[in-house]
Chains A and B, each alone.
Chain A
Amino acid sequence: MAKKVESSRSGTVVVTANRLRDGRVVWYGPNDTWVEHIAKAAILGVGDDEAALEQAQTWARREVVVDVYAVPVDTDNDDVVPVTMRERVRAVGPSVRADLAVTYI
């Protein structure tokens, strides 16, 4: 279940889920794909977020991902930073294991 989240300054969101086969955090990317790093996620403004979320949900119905929801983010200088600590931790990995941080490939 998605947690109730705060909204971002600009109302922008990204869409996230966990991948079914390994549980890994994934982000909905451009061209109807899923990517592993939040920096590659499709940034959705007010107006295009609902359609993207609906499209992303079809991947859950196809049993590729689970628990699809939108995450409010702030975007500063190309950085995509979720508004809540919970989503920041999901995006990067456990804050206490820098060695296991999600890498940008």
Chain B
Amino acid sequence: MSSAVTPLDLRDVNSGAAVVDHAGIYRYDEFDRQFLHQRVAEFRQQAERRLAGELTEEEFRPLRLMNGLYLQLHAYMLRVAIPYGVLSATQLRQLGHIARVFDRGYGHFTTRQNIQYNWTKLEEAADILEALAVVDMHAIQTSGNCIRNVTTDEFAGAAADEIVDPRVYGEILRQWSTLHPEFSFLPRKFKIAITGSPNDRAAIKVHDIGIVAKRDEAGEVGFEVWAGGGLGRTPIIAIKLRDFIPESEFLGYMEAILRVYNALGRRDNIYRARIKILAQETGTDRFIGLVEREYARMSRQAYRLDPGIVAAIAAHFAPPPFADSPDEPAEFAHHLAENTAFAKWVGANTHAHKQPGHVSVVISLKPIGGIPGDASAAQMEAVADLAERFSFSEIRVTHVQNLVLPHVRKDQLFTLWQALGPIDLATPNIGMISDIIACPGLDYCALANARAIPVAQRISERFADLERQHEIGEIFLNISGCINACGHHHVGHIGILGVDKKGEEFYQITLGGSATSEAAIGQIVGPSFSYDDVVDAVETIVTTYVQIRSAGERFIDTFKRVGLAPFKEALYAGH
């Protein structure tokens, strides 16, 4: 069964301008579309041959994984790529449609800015891929030892502090890495993150390659390049390779890093195969030397990034047709003064925009007691509608598992907030203790040791009082169901890792991690806690912080000042 999406006549509520062709979303050309449809047809045949018994599971497994189809605990899981976390309203509406028709009415947004469907069927997988292709989406390279979806700042193209729009280079990386013949069978999977702001919101230092797009004194674009970072079994902060690689040399330098990794990365031991291990085992200086030597050997001309190509891609990401709007509209100020719940939401869930009179809005997918990152089909469709009304049809997925409407006029914020409330999407908790990252854990994932979601739900319920959350202030709490660390527990201010002890769930807590420009790996606080005790342990940590913090001090600052000792003391004294 395939499903068509009819083009809609979309109009911006302010200007009345058609927004269906708005430039904020990269659009495929005919070549891309043809390729996707061919790929779906190919997979349809492969699935049919598997169902007919002509292919064994051993033969079929790599083919389905190349198309993002995993077999998890309860069913097949399809992981769909959302390039650099950017979606159009039409695409999000189609994701909701797929959840409704092919899944059980919901999807799960991940820390890699992707979406996962938990209940797909092999016999319908090609139909789902067809439905994705209709809106220029796919699940290619969401598995396997290749370059995965490039992730970026959720406020790209909108943030007041942005120097360079990272979507442009995210798209260049996507085009370069998709089906790259040399890098389709790397020693292990490979993840790239890029930010265009000095305030890292893309966790670039814990990626295989992390990139900071910036400008030199002459205003020319270039890139600070980091490599060898990663989480998982061996968490490591990346090392800086270059302070500024000019734009024209961007892809050549990426190619050099990948070549060194492809040639020298270990293939004999899955746990030692990531580039971070290569960099550590080789030694920082020698590793950098290897990349530089490879780069020096390569033809500059052959790998030169043509400014014409950059300009053509940048045109896709031109700013939307913003209406002139005062920076502090009277209506907005009035609602802020009159409605404390609205003011609280604005304080927590909006981010400064480069365009006067606008903000970016973070839609929390973390209602109190909810499942982090899950959205129902109805919620996806509703957000798609709201994006059309309020944000030029654009949506972003954050690596913290929330959604963003990047360009909202301040004088329309109150109306938007009122629309989000009834669909349970207006929880004012961004950056607070209930804005938890949680991987699917043992409720869905075949690799898990312990459940992550119900721990997140219980912590969220324990801190349900939003007044209290706001008094506590910024805390990032991240949970992973196993050492693979999809829930980024190592870089949570409070990190929780599920471990298996004789078939039962236990939780190890780390403190002091950070995924920002000052990235740090959390330190283990002590022996692990049982499923029953872990929420009390979190509360003890938070209470201890509140007791010892200096005025205005965030959790992470207090931790840097006092270290583990007071938390250890509070958690284990008397044990």
For A85, give its contact among B72, B123, B503 (CB under 8 Å). Answer: B503
In residues 120-146 of chain B, which contact A (Cβ within 8 Å)? Answer: 120-123
Taking Cβ atoms with an 8 Å cutoff, the residues of B that contact A are: 50-53, 56-57, 71-76, 104, 118, 120-123, 371, 442-444, 448, 450-451, 453-454, 457, 502-505
Taking Cβ atoms with an 8 Å cutoff, the residues of A that contact B are: 5-6, 18, 20-25, 60, 62-63, 66-67, 83-86, 89-90, 93-97, 100
CB-CB under 8 A from B122, the residues of chain A are 20-23
Contact status B443-A94, CB under 8 Å: yes
Contact status B503-A84, CB under 8 Å: yes
CB-CB under 8 A from A100, the residues of chain B are 104
Q: Which of A67, A90, A96 has its CB near the most chain B CB atoms (within 10 A)?
A: A96
Complex CA gap A93/B72 in Å reads 12
What is the chain B residue whose CB lies nearest that of A64?
B53
CB-CB under 8 A from A96, the residues of chain B are 371, 443, 451, 453-454, 457
Besides A18-B71, A18-B75, A23-B72, 10 new A-B residue pairs in contact (Cβ under 8 A), listed by A number? A21-B51, A21-B121, A22-B76, A23-B121, A66-B57, A86-B73, A86-B503, A89-B442, A94-B74, A94-B118
Contact status B75-A23, CB under 8 Å: yes
CB A56 to nearest CB in B, in angstroms, measures 15
Contact status B504-A85, CB under 8 Å: yes
Complex CA gap A97/B374 in Å reads 12
Complex CA gap A84/B135 in Å reads 42
What is the chain A residue whose CB lies nearest that of B450?
A85
CB-CB under 8 A from B53, the residues of chain A are 62-63
CB-CB under 8 A from A5, the residues of chain B are 503
Q: Tell me whether A86 and B448 are in contact in the complex, defined as CB-CB below 8 angstroms, given that A23-B121, A23-B122, A63-B50 are known contacts.
A: yes
Complex CA gap A93/B450 in Å reads 14
CB A68 to nearest CB in B, in angstroms, measures 11
CB-CB under 8 A from A60, the residues of chain B are 57
CB B372 to nearest CB in A, in angstroms, measures 11
Complex CA gap A23/B103 in Å reads 13
Contact status A89-B73, CB under 8 Å: yes
What is the chain B residue whose CB lies nearest that of A22?
B121
For B51, give its contact among A6, A20, A90 (CB under 8 Å). Answer: A20
Contact status A21-B503, CB under 8 Å: no
CB-CB under 8 A from B71, the residues of chain A are 18, 23, 66-67
Complex CA gap A5/B504 in Å reads 11
